[in-house]
């Protein structure tokens, strides 16, 4: 069951990367696309906890780093999404025992997109990447966060439902004997 879940997560991440790079870039708002990968990572973190958030964030970010047309130093999105995923998992743990409400999810997504963009830009600044512009940073973070919430409304319930199907079966089996 674990293998199945890992496979499902990997499939979701690959799908997210493909759609984000080739389809969503056509409906970009002022050039900023919806961070589908980030949303999937947050959904995984919310349903499975911080470890899953960190690992799936690393994998998803690494894909974003190496899949064309990426041309920046590899590891930057990986770091940003791993930390965002971990923090999203922590939020899930600390808030409540019940399922996270829609408002909580939206705030987590806003926070995650801001945090990941900040880490990504900060590593770029450390590496003296000339393409990082702090003057446009605020605008882009705003657009990205808003767009991500819109995407999250569709994607997060879907991913969490998928994950919970597999989880439920596993726990049912654990409880019955």
Q: Binding of another protein at residue 22 (CB under 8 A)?
A: yes
Give the residue, chosen from 95, 157, 161, 168, that forms a contact with another protein under the rule CB under 8 A.
95
Task: Work out the burial of residue 150: count CB atoms within 10 Å of its CB; fewer than 13 is exposed, 13-18 middle, 19 or more buried.
Answer: middle
Looking at residues 60 to 89 of the shown chain, list those that interact with another protein (rule: CB under 8 A). 62-63, 65-79, 82-83, 86
Q: How far is the CB of 10 from another protein (least distance, A)?
A: 12
Q: Does 111 help bind another protein (rule: CB under 8 A)?
A: no
Cα–chain center distance at 27: 19
d(CA 146, CA 74): 26
Which of 38, 175, 58, 51 lies closest to 108 in space, CA to CA?
Answer: 38
Q: Which of 13, 20, 88, 108 binds another protein (CB under 8 A)?
A: 20
Distance of CA 175 to the CA centre of its chain: 31
> Looking at beta carbons only, is 65 or 109 nearer to another protein?
65
> What number of residues does the chain have?
177
Segment 25 to 44, residues that bind another protein, using CB under 8 A: 25-28, 30-33, 35
103 is a contact residue toward another protein (CB under 8 A): no
Q: Which CB atom, from 58 or from 106, has the smaller least distance to another protein? A: 58
Among 40, 42, 46, 149, binds another protein (CB under 8 A): 46
* No. of helices (H) and no. of strands (E), the chain: 6, 0
């Amino acid at each position: 069951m674990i293998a199945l879940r890992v496979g499902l997560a990997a499939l979701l991440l690959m799908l997210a990367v493909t759609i984000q790079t080739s389809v969503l870039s056509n409906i970009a708002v002022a050039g900023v696309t919806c961070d589908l990968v980030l949303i999937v990572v947050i959904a995984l973190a919310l349903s499975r906890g911080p470890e899953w958030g960190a690992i799936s964030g690393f994998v998803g970010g690494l894909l974003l780093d190496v899949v064309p047309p990426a041309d920046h130093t590899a590891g930057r999105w990986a770091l940003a999404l791993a930390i965002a995923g971990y923090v999203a998992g922590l939020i899930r743990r600390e808030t409540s025992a019940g399922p996270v409400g829609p408002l909580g999810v939206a705030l987590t997504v806003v926070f995650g997109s801001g945090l990941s963009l900040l880490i990504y830009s900060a590593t770029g600044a450390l590496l003296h990447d000339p393409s990082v512009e702090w003057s446009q940073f605020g605008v882009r973070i705003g657009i990205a966060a808003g767009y991500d919430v819109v995407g999250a409304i569709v994607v997060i319930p879907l991913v969490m439902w998928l994950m919970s199907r597999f989880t439920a079966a596993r726990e049912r089996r654990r409880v019955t004997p």
